[in-house]
Amino acid sequence: LGEAEIDAIIQKYADAAARVRAAGFDMVELHGGTGYLLAQFLSPRTNRRHDGYGGALANRMRFALEVLTRVRVAAGPLPVVYRSLADEWLPDGLQLAESRQFAHELARSGVAYISVMGGTYESFSLAEVVARSKKKGYMLDLAAAIRAAVDVPVIAAGRLATGAFADRAVAEGKTDLIGLARVLWADPRWPQKVHDGQEAEILHCDPD
């Protein structure tokens, strides 16, 4: 991509945010996880550029931060939030040392919260990642590390499958909010059942 093409893509993000606002949504989330474009620019593994958008971390952050700046303008009063890849779980990929610095810049640039995740489509199928993903709260340590680096709320996800476990994660200061995906696919009434003390009735997602 040339710089004019990059600028045009940044504008596409802003245009999408404007449509989100016009449609009446409550917020805009930028997806910088799972190896999507925002993550590809940030990652030292996929970003092999030698210009102002590649090389040092400050350059690799530039695309995402420019997207965030322009999206915030287009979104107007809507909160803009960021789904952030904390660790690619690849030996030459993005890791916490850099993603913590990036999270700090996201917070400084005005995100309302950061939703933390680990792994990409290239690492999800690795044996060690598959094994890790079957454990309770397998991304919680990433959220805790990012939370310690920023002054905005952080969302943790990844097999936070019981109310007790989720409550403990918040109480211990590892996260501010809980993100639910497969938990809700398995049982859409999970939040209500947790609230009503009916955890024994929850239909849980099979980790296999």
Q: Which one is catalytic: 36, 53, 82, 121?
A: 36
- Strand pairing partners for 114? 82, 154
Active site residue 36: yes
Residues noted as catalytic: 36
